[in-house]
Structure 1
Amino acid sequence: MPAPITAEIRAYQMGFGDCFLLTFLYDPADNLAARHILIDFGSTGMPDKTEVTLDAVAADIAQQCDGALDIVVATHRHKDHISGFATKTNGKGSGDVIRGLNPKRVIQPWTEAPQAPEGWAGPPDVSTAKAFADRTQSLAAMQAVAQSVVDRLDRESGFDPRWPLADRLRFIGEDNISNVSAVKNLMTMAGEDGKNNLYVFHGCDLDLADILPGVKVHVLGPPTLNQSASIKAYAKRSDDYWFQASGLAALAATDAVAADKKSMLFPKLKGRDTFRASRLPTEMRWVAERVNAAEADQMLGIVTALDSVMNNTSVILLFEAGSKKLLFPGDAQLENWSYALQSTMAPLLDDVDLYKVGHHGSLNATPKRMWERLKKRGEVGKPDRLQSIMSTMAGKHGGKGGAPTEVPRGPLVKELKAESTLHNTQDLKPADLCQLITIDLR
């Protein structure tokens, strides 16, 4: 079977967001057109001086693909990964452009399955998937919390904007609000019947050989709840995080990153219609009421926990082509990674050639156990040295109130520079649309 000989990765300037166009090029003798995969397209804020817009990025993607996309991957539902898929009523939105490229498949995590029943734990094993029920309650409940937080901030009686963590609370809240236009577009852009939408999970059989000749695509995450319940929570501290000794002390001293280990992926919602809280369905009104009653620090703890749970639904894809492996983990955090790292698929990581840095370089999305498996790490000059790509914007998220949670995390960036060839979108000039990384697959 013909195999691609070159991979091109365009890392677009998204500020705090992700957008990567992965292109596989074949030997001209094989008479095969290039194959194009768009991995995420979203932002929660561009650099102040940038000249780049979502519309300009969409237009460039269309040009690079010569008018046709093969696959769209939306790793998870956060705004900084899907806002570019939003459409406009005039049909000229960035999402309309992507839709017009007629992708053959759309890949999303199993948690996005449109007819998943409340409390669904995902496919019962890696080979079968039962029929779905009417609707997904879990994501709606999580996003109801986020909407209530933003509504509270917008009220005249909301929090004093001088509160040191007000900006962070708004950022996390807005990132978790449902982007209805983008979500609906993703559900139908590969066909109105949804048959070309693939909802994936750890170890599932993702056979794309007819679309990507000579390319194997391994799904390392997320696990289903039947495989691991860990994605329902997150750890406030871990030896796998990129802390320093002083950072641990600072984290322990602040409530800014308060964790809630209760299950929030599939909450069991009970109707409490005694509240007059919102326009939400009856069974969700208690959520808004609790948010309205919460103190600022408690509210930040709630939305931080929800934010982490959403990150832990991220798709982790490893592309194997020729002699090279390319790893794209979305925003997967430790809990998502933990299942893959203890599975039979873990050895696939040993010889990864390119790593898309998780969650814009946060302290908990590049677990040290995972990083240490990447054997092509090494000093400058090492043959076949690991390459890494990070899409990020400093000062947008984390690091407030003395917590060692700034994104990108300093110790991690230092390690990435020392042990890999780091391509960072922060290094782009205001007019630059993207960085281009080319990899010889032979």
Structure 2
Amino acid sequence: MSPIRLHLFVYQVGFGDCFLLRFVYPGEVHRHVLIDFGSMEMPDGVVAAKRLLEIAEDIKLRCNGKLQALVATHRHADHINGFATRKNGKGAGDIIRSLAPDIVVQPWTEQPDLPEDASAPIGSSAHAAYQQRLALRNMSEVAGSVLAQLDGQHHGLSAELVDRLGFLGRDNVSNLSAVENLASMGGKQVYAWFGSEDPLAEVLPGITTRVLGPPTLEQSDAIRSERSSDPEYWIRQRALMAHDGAAVSTAANSPFPEAESRRGSQLPLSARWIAERVRQARGEQWLQIVTALDDAMNNTSLILLFEAGGKKLLFPGDAQIENWRYALNQDGIAALLEDVDLYKVGHHGSLNATPKSLWEGFDKRGPASKADRLTSVLSTKPGRHGHVESDTEVPRRPLVAALEKDSTLHDTDHLAAGVLYEEVVLEL
């Protein structure tokens, strides 16, 4: 039995991802897969908590109270904070949990019970796997330290810097409730990496799901950014953040608590410019740290290719160039992706998540008149990440222009704020 049609529900979550795939089989038999559920910033005028609940209820309605599979591509908040639960049991994550997915798929870095002497994931050294998970945990703690120090201590930092630090910091905190919910829901937990066996074969008959990323550290340690190459670095960085926070708190933390001291705002006028520049430099260093966290976390993202009814659907989460490079350098992978029919644009349209070689290799790109033209789907909100001046804005304008020119683009930014989703139908 093979599916004959795909209904893709692209939910409007602003800067985030949430996709419900409905595979329709003969006789109107439906199989549902949810890929990610999170947002860092909703469309203007939309209350995040309310919207996440609305989407969770809509997902429950559309899948008739049952999910066959749930995929969390990586742990960034804009991909998983919708899975967070509430103490009263009425959170969006509680609703998704009630759908009892048969299989939950996450990247290998999320395996919760991986001890230092474990042999999993297969194909990676146990110690390297353990160290990578340790690094990710420490990264989240560093991000939390940045947020804690921003709270009520904006003096000396530009409003733009505070905004960027807050956005990246919130995206990289551990999202503990969502992480724990994902780790304990579902009948089967699968932690996947490049070349893993089909993780959804049991629940999606007639469909092949290939895992193209992330690689394990044994396959490629390039998924560690330069800043995360040594897990001990993150431990030191965490300690530095804690020390920095203590230094600007109360006099009781001083080695000379009874000595007279002056805060920056009490400095003589002739010296205040120094304090202001020191604080701004400190903020710029924090920004470098949380940006490195963001890159490292994105490189743990799953890349999934669904093959159904002669069609190919590519969902790369937020995979960035280091993650992609490994896949594209493997024999046959570039050729495998040439005839992709539907492309979920990586990392909300960022500059390093859609490699040019990948885009240029899509044979089904072309004008509107082209038969079997490529369909692209972009979930994003402009103005929240990067800068036009530095060619780092998300989504990148040249990429969006190429998507509009050479594919049938479905962009959540074009939806009205009150619209919950767009439905994309693909005949298989």
CA 1:354–1:120 in structure 2 vs 1: closer, same or farther (change >3 Å)? farther
**Counterpart position of 1:257:** none
**Counterpart position of 2:95:** 97
**Counterpart position of 1:70:** 68
**Counterpart position of 2:20:** 21
CA 1:287–1:131 in structure 2 vs 1: closer, same or farther (change >3 Å)? closer
What is the percentage of aligned positions where both structures have the same residue? Answer: 52
Superposition deviation, residue 105 in structure 1: 0.6
CA 1:263–1:375 in structure 2 vs 1: closer, same or farther (change >3 Å)? same
What are the within-5 Å matches in structure 2 for residues 28-427 of structure 1? Answer: 28=27, 33-50=29-46, 53-117=51-115, 123-125=121-123, 136-156=133-153, 158-191=154-187, 196-233=188-225, 261-264=226-229, 267-268=231-232, 285-286=239-240, 288-289=242-243, 295-344=282-331, 345-399=333-387, 402-427=389-414
Superposition deviation, residue 292 in structure 1: 7.5
Superposition deviation, residue 118 in structure 1: 5.8
CA 1:320–1:55 in structure 2 vs 1: closer, same or farther (change >3 Å)? same
Superposition deviation, residue 189 in structure 1: 0.9
Cα separation, 1, equivalents of 2:235 and 2:374: 52
Cα separation, 2, equivalents of 1:323 and 1:124: 31
Superposition deviation, residue 296 in structure 1: 1.3
Largest Rg, 1 or 2? 2
Q: Is the 8 A contact 1:122 1:226 kept in 2?
A: no
CA 1:350–1:106 in structure 2 vs 1: closer, same or farther (change >3 Å)? same
Cα separation, 2, equivalents of 1:123 and 1:69: 26
CA 1:371–1:99 in structure 2 vs 1: closer, same or farther (change >3 Å)? same
SS in 2 for 1:165: helix
Cα deviation digits, residues 296-319 of structure 1 (max 9, x gap): 111111110110010010000000
Q: Is the 8 A contact 2:46 2:417 kept in 1?
A: yes
Q: Which amino acid aligns with 2:309?
A: G
Q: Is the 8 A contact 1:144 1:288 kept in 2?
A: no
Q: Which amino acid aligns with 2:144?
A: Q
Q: Is the 8 A contact 1:19 1:41 kept in 2?
A: yes
Aligned residue pairs: how many? Answer: 392
Superposition deviation, residue 224 in structure 1: 0.5
Q: Is the 8 A contact 1:121 1:225 kept in 2?
A: no
Cα separation, 2, equivalents of 1:288 and 1:211: 46
SS in 2 for 1:160: coil
SS in 1 for 2:136: helix
SS in 1 for 2:7: strand
Superposition deviation, residue 75 in structure 1: 0.3
Greater percentage in helix:
2
Cα separation, 2, equivalents of 1:64 and 1:271: 44
SS in 2 for 1:46: coil
CA 1:131–1:187 in structure 2 vs 1: closer, same or farther (change >3 Å)? farther
Q: Is the 8 A contact 1:119 1:268 kept in 2?
A: no
**Counterpart position of 1:5:** 4
Cα separation, 2, equivalents of 1:440 and 1:270: 48
Q: Which amino acid aligns with 1:46?
A: M
Cα deviation digits, residues 126-176 of structure 1 (max 9, x gap): 8x98998799422220011101111111143x4435343221111001110
Q: Is the 8 A contact 1:62 1:68 kept in 2?
A: yes
**Counterpart position of 1:276:** none
Superposition deviation, residue 416 in structure 1: 0.5
Which region of structure 1 is more displaced relative to structure 2, 341-350 or 216-225? 341-350
SS in 2 for 1:436: strand
CA 1:323–1:141 in structure 2 vs 1: closer, same or farther (change >3 Å)? same
CA RMSD of aligned residues (A): 2.6
Q: TM-score, normalised by structure 2?
A: 0.86
SS in 1 for 2:168: helix
Cα separation, 2, equivalents of 1:384 and 1:92: 43
Q: Is the 8 A contact 2:128 2:217 kept in 1?
A: no
Cα separation, 1, equivalents of 2:234 and 2:128: 24
Cα separation, 2, equivalents of 1:174 and 1:415: 31
Cα separation, 2, equivalents of 1:202 and 1:177: 26
Q: Which amino acid aligns with 2:203?
A: I
Superposition deviation, residue 5 in structure 1: 0.2
Cα separation, 1, equivalents of 2:182 and 2:326: 27
Cα separation, 2, equivalents of 1:319 and 1:292: 50
Which region of structure 1 is more displaced relative to structure 2, 289-298 or 147-156? 289-298
Which region of structure 1 is more displaced relative to structure 2, 317-326 or 296-305? 296-305
Cα separation, 2, equivalents of 1:269 and 1:363: 27
Cα separation, 2, equivalents of 1:92 and 1:364: 38
Superposition deviation, residue 393 in structure 1: 0.6
Cα separation, 2, equivalents of 1:131 and 1:296: 32
Q: TM-score, normalised by structure 1?
A: 0.83
Superposition deviation, residue 286 in structure 1: 4.3
